[in-house]
């Protein structure tokens, strides 16, 4: 099933302001995707568009590979307060790395888990994902290929 933690995604209203705040806490930007526009992201998260700016943040001396995926949605714009949908400000999604997305999805469906889309979505270079929610509505993303 799930192999490891990958990242925690936080939607913010202003990426630069949020990056500065987290840098103040001692995190550093380990990767920046200045603007991403991916149909697979929009379909996978059931949003009308998937245009966003992203910064990955992690502690300088991290022993794990887990990081914060800080996102400012450009289209659609962030709205509301945390956190009933993915483009809201706050902790919105926890991603888990899996080695076999098809087998994992099938096993979870056998346990009554449903997903936002019928099939995994593809984006980037060979990245596949599918999204479900926990009982409280927290979005959980299963990713293969990262």
* Residue-level length of the chain: 146
Which is nearest to 140 in space by CA: 76, 97, 81, 90?
Answer: 97
Domain of 75: which CATH number? 3.10.180.10
d(Cα 51, Cα 73) in Å, to the nearest integer?
A: 6
CA dihedral 20, 21, 23, 26 (to 10 degrees): 170
The rounded distance, in Å, linking the Cα atoms of 101 and 83 is 26
Domain residues for the domain of 35 are: 4-144
Tally of CB atoms within 10 A around 23: 13
pLDDT at site 81: 59
- Judge if pTM exceeds 0.75: no
Residue-level pLDDT at 52: 96
79-136 pLDDT, tens digit each: 765 566 778 777 678 788 889 999 999 999 998 999 999 999 999 888 999 998 876 6
pLDDT of 24 higher than 90: no
Structure tokens at 81: 């307060």
């Amino acid at each position: 099933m799930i192999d490891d933690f990958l990242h925690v995604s936080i939607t913010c209203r202003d990426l630069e302001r949020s990056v500065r705040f987290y840098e103040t806490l001692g995190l550093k930007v380990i990767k920046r995707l200045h603007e991403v526009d991916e149909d697979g992201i929009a379909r996978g998260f059931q949003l009308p568009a998937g245009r966003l700016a992203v910064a990955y943040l992690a502690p300088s001396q991290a022993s794990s590979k887990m990081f914060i995926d800080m996102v400012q949605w450009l289209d659609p714009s962030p709205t509301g307060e945390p956190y009933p949908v993915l483009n809201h400000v706050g902790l919105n999604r926890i991603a888990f790395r899996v080695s076999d997305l098809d087998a994992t999805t099938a096993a979870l469906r056998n346990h009554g888990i449903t997903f936002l889309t019928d099939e995994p979505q593809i984006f980037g270079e060979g990245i596949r994902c599918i999204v479900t929610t926990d009982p409280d509505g927290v979005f959980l993303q299963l990713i293969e290929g990262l």
